[in-house]
């Protein structure tokens, strides 16, 4: 049987191989690297079905004290692998856009295909993490990869803005995470989630301080899963990031974030304040996500309708102006040929168009030689 850590090791080796090939084989078609990555991840995905789940995580020691391979983690490892494969397929079609974002002979398509592999390894480690230290390291591996992917098309100002916002706000959330871990470790002396459950059951532990640390950790994880009120970064980052990266960020990252949130909150569910806080955040997220999404959709549809009306109106006015100009030119030419008195007149096709006397006189002066020649021929 295959052990669970071998899956992450295989993914990391695959990512490093693709980076080395991209660096030293610069003349090959970079899309070949994407096909190699997809093939390698597909092999790891098939191998994940032959992993034996870890039977007793509560009695884990040594390496297994911060890593678990239960059925939940194996399922989300498979989910991360499948998501990455689909994202790489999308990136193959997006490669021309990436090429235009790099000046001169530089070509960043190879790195664009390699970085999601390391992101996948971070997601796979993240869903198996049962220790705060390992959670932090895995989360940073995922986050730093997304820093690069979000702002990859650096010639686009919207992309640079999205990357900057994601970098700054994600750094703030990381600070909350580390601060919360420090509080929890200071109170309980533990970073392992299973041992933390036993420590919180001790009546001598200051539960208020532990609850404060949990709140800081919840703020950080709320940012990762875009729960209210930590979702402000989502619209700008999703709009500015490349389309495959947006798909990856909204699916793979969120799934792993929910697994981590489930594992982290489990030791604190014995505290009644934790349950109320989770219910409050869930209600706010549901209400905000459904109510304001509907309002924004209606506003967007109304604005789209107004824009279409404005475009149609502008086109109609332009056509009318062209027609009126042609008609006015014909009228002026007839006036010059027949000698009709030059008076201001109006041509109306939905709107009134007035032609000044000076404009008529100028056209008459230009037509005088032609009229004199015509009179001489008649005589």
Distance CA 87, CA 275 (A): 36
Specify the higher pLDDT residue, 63 or 203: 203
Q: Where are the domains of the chain?
A: 4-270
For 52, the token pair is 């034996």
Kindly report which listed range (202-211, 298-307, 318-327) carries the lowest average pLDDT score: 298-307
At residue 270, the pLDDT reads 79
For 237, the token pair is 């980052």
At residue 78, the pLDDT reads 93
Find which of 1-5, 27-31, 240-244, 369-373 is predicted with most confidence, using mean pLDDT.
240-244
The string of pLDDT tens digits covering residues 241-269 is: 899 999 999 898 888 888 998 899 888 88
Indicate the angle between helix axes 4-24 and 71-100, nearest 10 degrees.
10
pLDDT of 350 higher than 60: no
Specify the higher pLDDT residue, 179 or 63: 179
- Taking CA atoms, 194 is separated from 74, 84, 121, 201, 373, in Å, by 19, 30, 24, 11, 107
Radius of gyration of the chain (CA): 33
Q: How confident is the model at residue 375 (pLDDT cuts 50, 70, 90)?
A: low
- Looking at every residue in the chain, the average pLDDT score rounds to 79
At residue 109, the pLDDT reads 82
For 93, the token pair is 């079609």
pLDDT of 347 higher than 50: no
pLDDT of 346 higher than 50: no
Specify the higher pLDDT residue, 336 or 27: 27
Distance CA 57, CA 77 (A): 17
Dihedrals phi, psi of 210, to nearest 5 degrees: -65, -40
Give the mean pLDDT of 322-346.
49
pLDDT of 4 higher than 70: yes
Dihedrals phi, psi of 351, to nearest 5 degrees: -130, 155
At residue 372, the pLDDT reads 63
Q: What is the pairing mode between strands 352-355 and 345-348?
A: antiparallel
Specify the long-range contacts of residues 349-355, CB closer than 8 Å, at least 24 apart.
349/320, 349/323, 349/324, 350/316, 350/320, 351/317, 351/320, 351/324, 353/321, 353/324, 353/325, 353/328, 355/328
At residue 376, the pLDDT reads 64
Residue 69 half-sphere exposure, CB side, CA atoms within 13 Å? 17
At residue 133, the pLDDT reads 92
Give the mean pLDDT of 148-164.
87
Distance CA 29, CA 48 (A): 30
Share of the chain above pLDDT 90, in %: 28
Find which of 41-55, 61-75, 80-94, 268-282 is predicted with most confidence, using mean pLDDT.
80-94
At residue 274, the pLDDT reads 81
pLDDT of 323 higher than 80: no
At residue 197, the pLDDT reads 84
């Amino acid at each position: 049987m295959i052990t669970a850590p071998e899956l992450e090791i295989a993914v990391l080796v695959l990512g490093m191989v693709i980076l080395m090939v991209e660096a030293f084989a610069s003349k090959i078609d970079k899309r070949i690297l994407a096909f190699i990555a997809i093939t390698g991840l597909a092999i790891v995905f098939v191998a994940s079905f032959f992993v034996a789940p870890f039977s007793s995580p509560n009695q884990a020691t040594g390496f297994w004290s911060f890593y678990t391979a239960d059925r939940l983690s194996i399922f989300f490892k498979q989910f991360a692998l499948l998501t990455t494969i689909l994202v790489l397929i999308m990136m193959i079609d997006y490669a021309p856009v990436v090429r235009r974002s790099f000046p001169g002979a530089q070509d960043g398509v190879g790195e664009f295909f390699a970085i999601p592999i390391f992101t996948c390894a971070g997601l796979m480690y993240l869903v198996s993490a049962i220790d705060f230290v390992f959670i932090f390291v895995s989360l940073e591996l995922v986050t730093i990869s997304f820093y690069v992917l979000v702002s990859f098309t650096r010639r686009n100002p919207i992309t640079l803005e999205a990357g900057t916002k994601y970098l700054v706000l994600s750094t703030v959330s990381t600070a909350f995470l580390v601060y919360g871990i420090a509080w929890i470790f200071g109170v309980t002396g533990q970073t392992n989630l299973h041992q933390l459950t036993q420590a919180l059951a001790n009546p001598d532990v200051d539960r208020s301080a532990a609850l404060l640390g949990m709140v800081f950790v919840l703020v950080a994880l709320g940012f990762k899963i875009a729960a209210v009120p930590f979702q402000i970064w989502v619209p700008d980052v999703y709009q500015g990031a490349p389309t495959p990266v947006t798909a990856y960020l909204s699916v793979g990252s969120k799934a792993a974030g929910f697994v981590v949130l489930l594992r982290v909150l489990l030791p604190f569910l014995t505290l009644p304040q934790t349950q109320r806080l989770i219910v409050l955040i869930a209600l706010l997220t549901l209400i905000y996500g459904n109510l304001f999404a509907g309002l924004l959709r209606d506003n967007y549809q109304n604005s789209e309708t107004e824009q279409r009306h404005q475009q149609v109106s502008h086109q109609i006015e332009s056509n009318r102006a062209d027609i009126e100009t042609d008609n006015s030119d014909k009228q002026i030419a007839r006036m010059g040929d027949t000698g009709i008195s030059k008076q201001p007149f109006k041509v109306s096709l939905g709107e009134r168009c007035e032609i000044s006397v000076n404009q008529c006189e100028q056209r008459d002066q230009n037509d005088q030689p032609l009229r004199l020649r015509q009179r001489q021929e008649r005589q």
